[in-house]
Amino acid sequence: MTFELGVYSFGNTPRQADGSRGPTAQAIRDVLEAIKLADEVGLDYFGVGEHHMRTMPLSSPTSLINAAAAATSRIKLSTAVTVLPTDDPIRVFQQLATAAALAPGRIELVAGRGSSTITFPLFDHDENDYDMLFASKLELLMAVNASENVTWHGPHRTRPLQNATIFPRPEQPLKIWLGTGGSPGSVYRAVELGLPMFLGILGGTPEHWAQYGHAYRKAWTQAGHPAEQADIAVAVHGFVADTGAQARSTYLEYEHRMMADGMAELGRPAPRRADRSAALGPGGMVFAGGPDEIADRILHLHGLLSHTRQILQMDVGGMPQRDVLRGIELLGTKVLPQIRAELARPRTA
């Protein structure tokens, strides 16, 4: 498989000159601008995440994917993730199938549980049904993706579907990934369902996450799935600037602000800045640096994990849009060519 590199976003509400937050509507426009640039500079993928917060207001990823599908020509577009327990799987499919009509072969979906339970009261769901809702809705989503005529029943619906027809249909089924923060249960659920695995990573080390890749591939083979279809993607925090020092100082400042503001909205304590500073080093999982350094670190992780896609969240904490766009430009024009050239080299025995 060709290694793919890209970006993802939850939206990044800008800061005003006086330090106050700007309009959340501007955050949505900024993400669309970033997607267009990522397409232009040759990146492979843009993931549109789901949060319901003032600081990260991208709450309807399928809506923005439809706008981006019409505004781009080659880049793959995906949710990252769809918070499936509190969404409707049929509507999610229909919305993404609409995008796939505009961008055939370029629309994907990452289904996940979400990083918080904020959506449960928002959409009138019982948090105690968390596991049931995710499992049942994922099963229905896969059934709808596989066939336009669906007969299905499950615990999250009061009425079964009897030969229901679901339109529109993409020319080919949507690629559905299982998103996980690394719980062993999610790894084995992906194998059981025959789904590719999308790891959302905030900390740890490359060696730690390599263990999840090994467990996934071992279980995948034992389940009888074709080995070449054991697909792993990685989502990390990261940023590229012209120099490593510039990238690390910029990203540490804005990432810390994002975590402090975001955790405050959720009523949780923010990580210490010193702890995140350590994560920016070569042994951590925050990929902030100059182009050469980031290429080397991605290649190092690939050597351990053999993942086929890596995406970086750059637009954090009200980081100015000009810095975000410069990081995307460098990722596409400087980092990706180095990775492709290195992986294309013949391997010696």
DSSP E strands: which ranges in the chain?
A: 4-9, 45-48, 76-79, 82-83, 107-112, 149-152, 161-165, 175-180, 197-200, 232-240, 287-289, 309-313
Q: Note the pLDDT of residue 1.
A: 67
Domain architecture of the chain: domains with CATH: 4-344 (3.20.20.30)
Long-range contacts of 161-168 (CB under 8 A, 24+ apart): 166/90, 166/93, 166/94, 167/94, 167/97, 168/94, 168/97, 168/98, 168/101
What are the tens digits of pLDDT across the range 157-170? 999 999 999 999 99
Q: Note the pLDDT of residue 264.
A: 74
Q: Note the pLDDT of residue 278.
A: 82
Confidence of residue 266 (pLDDT cuts 50, 70, 90): low
Q: Note the pLDDT of residue 335.
A: 98
- Paired with 312 in beta bridges are 7, 236
What are the tens digits of pLDDT across the range 294-329? 999 999 999 999 999 999 999 999 999 999 999 999
Confidence of residue 349 (pLDDT cuts 50, 70, 90): low
Which range, of 189-193, 234-238, 243-247, 268-272, averages the lowest pLDDT? 268-272
Reference 48, options 94, 88, 4, 12; nearest CA is 12
Longest CA–CA separation in the chain, Å: 60
Q: Note the pLDDT of residue 275.
A: 73
Q: Note the pLDDT of residue 283.
A: 93
Tell me the C-alpha distance between 89 and 82, whole Å.
10
Burial class (CB in 10 A: 0-12, 13-18, 19+), 126: exposed
Instruction: Check whether 136 has a pLDDT greater than 60.
Output: yes
Instruction: Check whether 114 has a pLDDT greater than 60.
Output: yes
Q: Identify the residue whose tokens are 């690939």.
A: 302
Average pLDDT over residues 15-38: 96
Range among 12-21, 74-83, 111-120 with highest mean pLDDT value: 74-83
Which range, of 24-33, 113-122, 178-187, 269-278, averages the lowest pLDDT? 269-278
Q: Identify the residue whose tokens are 């600037």.
A: 241
- Cβ–Cβ < 8 Å for 113, 82: no
Tokens in use for 317?
């904490």
Burial class (CB in 10 A: 0-12, 13-18, 19+), 128: exposed
Q: Note the pLDDT of residue 133.
A: 96
